[in-house]
Structure formats: C-alpha cells, structure tokens
A and B are shown apart, each in its own frame.
Chain A
Amino acid sequence: MWLYAGRRIVLTIPILLGVTIICFALVQIAPGDPIQNLLSPTATAQDAARLRAAYGLDQPLMVQYFIWLGKVCVGNLGMSISDNVPVAGEVLHAFVNTIVIALISVVLAFVVSMIFGVIAAYRTGSLADRLITAVAVFGISVPPFWLGVILVIFFAVDLSWLPATGMGASGSETFSYFRWADFKFAIMPIIALALPPLGIMTRTTRSSIAEILNQDFIQTLRAKGLSEAQVIVHAVVNIMPQAVAMLGLQLGYLIGGSVLVETVFTWPGTGYLLNKAVLTRDIPLLQGTILVLATAFVLINLVVDLAQSLIDPRLKRS
C-alpha cells in the first residue's frame, strides 16, 4: 500500500511540471499585449520597452519559464498587473472560497445521488425511478448559470428568502459557513453548483448499482440469507471505487468550471478571479489562477487514486 502510494505520488511530479509548462505556454499563445493595457495612450515605445523589461517580458521564453518556475516553487506567483498585489495571496484567498463551496456541493450531490441512484436501480421502471431520472436529466441539461439566475429571481427577488449575490456584510475575510447570516449567501451558489454533478452521479450510480445487482455474487449474498438492506450495502461498497472516481472528477470540474456560477452570484472565488484576469489581460493573475486550479485538479486525482486503492484490494497490485 505505502509502496503504491509512494509511486503514485512520485508519478504526479512530471504531471505537475507538465501543468506548469502548459500554464506558461497558454498565456504566451494568447493574443494581445498586457503592456499596452497598462500604458497611457500618450506613452512612447521607450516607455513600453522599459515596462516590458521591468516585468521581465523581454527575456527569451525558456528563461522566462525557468525564472517563473523558480518563483512558483517558493510560492511567488508574481504581482497582479491590474491590482498591483501579490497574485499568490489573491489566488489563495479566492481558491479557499471556491473549494469550500465546491466541496460542500459535491459532497451534497454525492450523498443525494447515492440515495437516488440506489432507489432508481433497485426499483427499475417504477414511478420513483422515473422521477429520479427526470431530476437527473434536468440536472445534467440545465445550464448552471441559467439556473442561478432563476434561483435569484425566485428566492431572492420574489420570496426574499435568500440574498442574491456576494458574501454578505462580513465580507469574504471573516466569512463563516457556521454562521447563518453568512451561510445563507452560500446556499444558492451551492445549489447551482450541485445540480449538474447530482444529475451525472445519479445516472452513473443507477447504472453501476444495476450492473452490480446483476452479478453472480449478489445471488450468493441472497442465498446465504442476507436481508435486502445488507445486499444493498454490499452493492454500494462495490460501486465505491467508481463513485469516488466520479466524485473527484466532478470536484475538479466544479473548481475549474465555476466561472459562470461565481459570476452570476459575484462569489469571490477562482472562477470570478479568472473572469476578471481574462477581461483585464492580467497575465500573472491568469497564470497563477490556472496553475493553482490545475494543481488542485492533479492533487484531487491523486487523492482519488489512493482512496480507490484503499477501497478496492484488486487495485493495489497493479
């Protein structure tokens, strides 16, 4: 087990290096010149060259990459061009905001989809199955930003139960998920984020449970006198490796793909930050955000792999 874990961890290092190269290259490929955005309309070519040199943008690409990588390794992601604050702090702060609601959403979606999926698979063709399938298809097909807007219209504007946007009066610095006055700001973003993974995971849970229930060993379990509840526990344990993989994948998507939802709810997370960085051509901020997101994705996959090998003894050997 430890050997497997060690090997798996070592294997992530080249992946992470690849991530940094792609992060770096993506920004180089992107059209536009960030220096132009900073200059006043009256600036001369000399001013531009000076500024370019100040940011190190006049160096060869390889040199720029290694300088950048060296700084990244010590946690220096450079200065944000538009705000003139360290990128690392800004990204980290946004990342915490994103990962917490992403985690809550995905865990919520996971638990609900497990229950839904098991019921649907166990009672195939029943009314419950059809209702659950309808909810799942709704979750998969509805664009989350549209859902976000609808939620705002319904719960914030019409019913005034929940605040429409932002993180509330206490601001993101002192935001606490354990204080209702703060938490109510997170409810709608969580719902909007949770619905698509809920739909996808319900569908996969349903089909995996149905598949497991058709396997021979289920008959053995019944033949030895287990109750249906105990049989279902076995079936659920058996889909856990897949379910955990799915969970990790969805968490990755939520972290990277929350731009729209965070923009709708002005939730100050990485998606919001990414949007801002792109619009202002803030390359260090963009790079830093993408790097943190990609690294998070890689690490989530690592955790998923390790968790899978813990659950499924057959995976340890390979």
Chain B
Amino acid sequence: MNAMTSPDLSQATPHPAPFLRVEDLRVKFVSRDATVRAVNGISFNLERGKVLCVIGESGSGKSVMMRSLLRLHPKKRTVIEGTMMVGEHDIGAVSDRAMTQLRGSLISMVFQEPMTALDPLYTVGDQIAETVRRHEGLSKEAAWARALELLELVRVPSPERRLKAYPHELSGGLRQRAVIAMALSCRPSLLLADEPTTALDASVQIQILVLLRKIQQEMGMSMIFVTHDLGVAAQIADQVAVMYAGRIIEYGNARDVLLNPQHPYTKAMLAATAKDQDRNLPLEAIAGNPPDLRALPDGCSFAPRCKYAGPDCIVTMPPPVTDIRGHMARCFKVEAADGPLAFDERVAEPA
C-alpha cells in the first residue's frame, strides 16, 4: 500500500506546470480566545480551462480556501501558510498593491449571495464600469459600453435599462448575472465561484449554471466552483475535490469521485442525495456533527462519525492514497493495488 501512496499530487498530473498550483495551504484564524484551523494542508492543481468542483458541508473550509486565493482575509487575524501559484504569480508573496491589481483581472470571484454582494447605492452599470476602469483604465464611456456588452454576454434582458438600475430593482437571478458580469469584466484567467447558485430558485440555478459553464468554455477560463450540491458538481466539474474539516479527503476526475466514491464521507454524502432513492424510506443522513475547528482531533477528522472507523483512525491522520489516474482518497481502508482505488472495510489500519 505504501508504494502507491503519493502525498504530492503534482506527480499524478501529466502536465509539468499547471496553471493553478496550491500546495500544503494552511489557514488559521487567530483570536484572543481560540485559534480556528479552517484549512489544514490542501494541495491540488488545476489546468487552464478546467473546472474544479469543491464539495463539502458548511464549515469544511471551502470558502476560506477560495478567499485565501484572493487574499481577502483580514491580515491581522489570519495566518496563511503554503504555496499558491496562479500562472507565474505567487499569491502568498506579491505585495498588497500588486494583489489589488490581480484581483478582478487575473482572478475574480462570484459570491454566494447576490442580494448582498452589490453596493446598494451604485447602479449596476457603475459597479461593472468601475472594475473595468480600475484595471484597464478605460474612459467612462468605454467602460459603460463594455458593461453593456458584459450584460449581453450574461444574457440579461434589456441590458441598457438594467445598466441604470440599482441592485434592489433586480431579481435575484438578474443580480447574480450582474455579479458574474462584473467578475468577467476583465477576462480573468481564474474564476472563483463560491456557491453562486445556492441562494437562487431552482429554475434560475440551472440557468446560471449553464451560463457559467458556457462562458467558462468560451473564454477558456479555469474555474473553481464551490458547492454542496452534488448534482451541480456532476454537471460542470472536470475535477472534484471533497473537503472535510479543512482537508481534501477525496480528489479526482468528476467521474471517478462521483461514480466510484472511496472515502466513507463521500460515500455517505452520495447516499444522502435524493436521486434514485426509494421514496418511502427516509433519506440517509450522516450522523453526528462536523468537528470543532478550534480543537481538531489528531487522527482522521471524520473518524468520530465514520461507521468503519477503527481505533487507529482516531490516532493517526491517514495519508493520501492515489491511483494511476490521480484519484486520491485519505482513508486507511482504501487501497490502490492495481488500477482504480478500492475501498475495503476489512483492511486494518496500521498500528
């Protein structure tokens, strides 16, 4: 088993220099009372034009990881360790000034709540034009013309009128389109989408999702898409990363992870979806609560809720196990003897 264990994911990736490389990212929030370890050693790569879906429940560190890529956390209370390379830019090392120039142009972000993500006192056009002017130094007229094009790009009906509208005059779906237009305004190479469909109606969710996927492919952007909706992940992901307590516990191609889940947490999550379930039975739920990030256990963070957990799971953090296709799971009971990962609950944990 040890022979197949590879802590460095980049070895499993065919291309030598991926567009986005995150290595052993750790994020801590320090306050007087406690230290919250929100992200505890994340590594992954993402190629140009690919979509990585990050799945996990609330508090698993998804959003914190995304905000770290833009360095949006308050400096004073946050400790970020590890490497984040976007293209040739080392996010951890660039100056604050350079960072503001990268935000919105190289990397931009779409947030979960379209209701509160826009400044209520500025028109939609102003807010989009502001971004364009900031990064590309266009005149006011040119920036507004670009804003109009962008609203057309995100399929906002009667865009001329919507440019002059204030956020409160638009529906949730239109606002999210405006937010997306703003994020796309300077043709970013990496789009971070933090649950962009969660706050929307189901019918609007699909529209936004299809739109994002289409634009992502047209523009050849890389995208990290955070969601806790597995159906959404299946729709748009090339790669899927499952996060739990600030770690990636399973990672791989979307097909591998969603059709052949290995980690007990991923399995349990997939079992808890409504699709193909017997209508008369209650949905399965994962027992217990997510761990307290202020006092993480030494061993596997999922062990207290895991029905397969043995005594060692609680003591030692399982190392990543990776197969030849790059499918990775962090579980003692997963093996990659020949070919794809396989879960075997009889496998004993190492002493």
Residues of A within 8 A of B (CB): 215-217, 219-227, 230, 234, 237-238, 240, 311-314
Contact A217 B100 (CB under 8 A): no
B103 within 8 A of A: yes
Other-chain contact of B102, A215, A217, A225, A312 (Cβ < 8 Å): A225
Contact B130 A226 (CB under 8 A): yes
Question: Least Cβ distance of A211 to chain B in Å?
Answer: 13
Interface residues of B in 180-219 (CB under 8 A from A): 182-183, 185-186
5 contacts between A and B (CB under 8 A): A220-B119, A223-B103, A225-B101, A230-B130, A312-B120
Within residues 107 to 129 of chain B, which ones have a CB less than 8 A from any CB in chain A? 108-109, 111, 113, 116-122
- Please indicate the chain B residues that have their CB under 8 angstroms from the CB of A219 in the complex: 72, 111, 117
**B140 at the A/B interface (Cβ < 8 Å)?**
no
| Closest A residue, CB atoms, query B185 | A224
Residue of chain A at shortest CB distance from B182: A224
- The answer to whether B134 touches A217 (Cβ under 8 A) is no
Name the residue of chain B whose CB is nearest to the CB of A224: B104
Which 6 A-B pairs give the minimum distances between C-beta atoms? A225-B104, A224-B104, A225-B103, A216-B116, A223-B109, A313-B166
Note all chain B residues with C-beta closer than 8 A to A312: 120-121
If A223-B108, A225-B103 touch, does A217 touch B117 (CB 8 Å cutoff)? Answer: yes
Kindly provide the distance from the CB of B190 to the nearest chain A CB, expressed in whole angstroms: 12
Q: Judge whether B179 is part of the interface by a CB distance below 8 angstroms.
A: yes
Count chain A CB atoms within 10 A of each CB in B105, B113, B116, B185 and give the residue with the most. Answer: B116
Chain B residues near A313 (CB, 8 Å)?
120-121, 166, 168-169
A216 touches B121 (CB 8 A): no
Tell me how far the C-beta of B72 lies from the nearest C-beta in chain A, rounded to whole angstroms: 6
Judge whether A220 and B118 touch: CB under 8 Å: yes
Give the docked Cα–Cα distance between A314 and B167 (Å): 9
Closest CB in chain B relative to A266 CB, distance in Å: 45
Residues 121 to 171 of chain B near chain A (Cβ within 8 Å): 121-122, 130-131, 134-135, 166, 168-169
Complex Cα spacing A217 to B126, Å: 14
Please, which residue of chain B has its CB at the minimum distance from the CB of A212?
B119
Other-chain residue from A215, A220, A225, A237 in contact with B134 (beta carbon distance below 8 A): A225
In the complex, which residues of chain A have a beta carbon less than 8 angstroms from the beta carbon of B130? 224, 226, 230
